[in-house]
Amino acid sequence: MTENFARRTVLKGLAAAPLLLAGCASRGSSTPTGTLNIGQISNSVAFFPLFIAEQRGIFADEGVKLGDRPRLGTGAKVAAALKSGSIDLGAGVVTDAFNLAETDNGTRIVSSLVSEYYVDIIVATSLDVPADGASVEDKAAALVGKKIGITGPGSGTEALVKYLFGRIGKDAAVDATLVNLGAAATSAVGALKSGRVDALAFFQPIGQQAEAVGAGRIFISPARGDVPSMRGALHGVMFSTTALLDKKKDEVAAFRRAMGKALEVIHGDEAEVRQLLGQYLDKSDPAAVDALVPILRSEVPRTPDVQREAYETAKRFHLDSGLVTQAPDYSAVILE
């Protein structure tokens, strides 16, 4: 990646981050004692553990009372809700935590949810692209000049496109057309199927759904090892700020215990996992859900504790690609 490309990427990233509200301190929690409001980006597979803990009564068993559970669409909106104090915990990706940390040094990662980069590049079936055995650089080059659907600016979906283009000396903001589609699965698959976009950079299970209905195929998948430098990177996380966490210490400790038990369920009986995942992704094609079960069990950690190696891999990826200008040291951002 050239120096000029890195500089352009950083400047564009800063300009596209209205959520950061530089200089504004986070407000304290507006929810009553004993209650946690949890905002999440979407119903992607990263947040499946939250569904399990709710469905199986694990939150209740641990004494966690859930308040509002808004689906906010982007990590930027999750971070803004944390800033305002309307939610206590945000369910997003590590990109969102890094972005928030640039203006709030009280940002903390509370729990690990996925320790693989679970965004895929999905191409339309009609698009002429290199075969599966091609290098990731050749595959990235095939996306130059194309319309690529992402959830929105500053997201983990945009981050993957920027990183792949940076590897071949290109700037995704200039050398492709990034189309903001929001987080709805139907919108993403529909845009690919109709030709509104040539490709998608989207979280699981969008790729599996596109393949199940014949709208496209998974072209580049960091989680399956297509991008070796990203293998084992921390991705799905729960995060917050010390302004909120300091007021909800007991509730957050109970939440982490609940997450630990939910993660154990995912690594337990496979038939139970398939049943729960089918309920969670109730509008997905059954074939897509079947395909996801073994993938999910390989991506989800066995403990909510954030492993240093996974964090450092994610940090290198974000810094090397210019996606963030700085990222906190491991000990400074992990909730003890």
pLDDT along the chain (336 residues), means of 10: 40 38 53 90 91 96 92 90 95 93 94 95 95 94 98 87 94 96 88 97 93 95 93 96 94 97 96 96 91 93 96 91 85 90
Query: Is 196 within a domain?
Result: yes
How far, rounded to the nearest angstrom, does the alpha carbon of residue 36 sit from its chain's CA centroid?
21
What residue has token string 């320790």? 115
- Which residues span the domain enclosing 316? 35-116+233-327
Same-domain pairing of 55 and 147: no
CA angle 266, 240, 112 (to 5 degrees): 25
DSSP, collapsed to helix, strand or coil, labels residue 61 as: helix
Question: What pLDDT does 7 receive?
Answer: 38
Query: Is 189 within a domain?
Result: yes
Same-domain pairing of 124 and 112: no
Question: What pLDDT does 28 receive?
Answer: 65
* Inter-residue long-range contacts of 12-19, CB under 8 Å, 24+ positions, other chains counted: 12/173, 13/154, 13/322, 13/323, 13/324, 13/325, 14/325, 16/153, 16/154, 17/76, 17/99, 17/102, 17/153, 17/154, 18/76, 19/76, 19/77, 19/79, 19/80, 19/83, 19/99, 19/100, 19/154
- Count how many Cα atoms sit within 13 Å of the Cα of residue 289 in the half-sphere of its side chain: 18
- Report the sign of the C-alpha dihedral through residues 207, 188, 205, 80, in that order: positive
For residues 140 and 171, is the Cβ–Cβ distance under 8 A? no
Which domain-ending residue is among 230, 255, 277?
230
Which domain-ending residue is among 178, 203, 230?
230
Please give the tally of structural domains in the chain: 2
Its pTM stands at 0.83
Question: What pLDDT does 35 receive?
Answer: 92
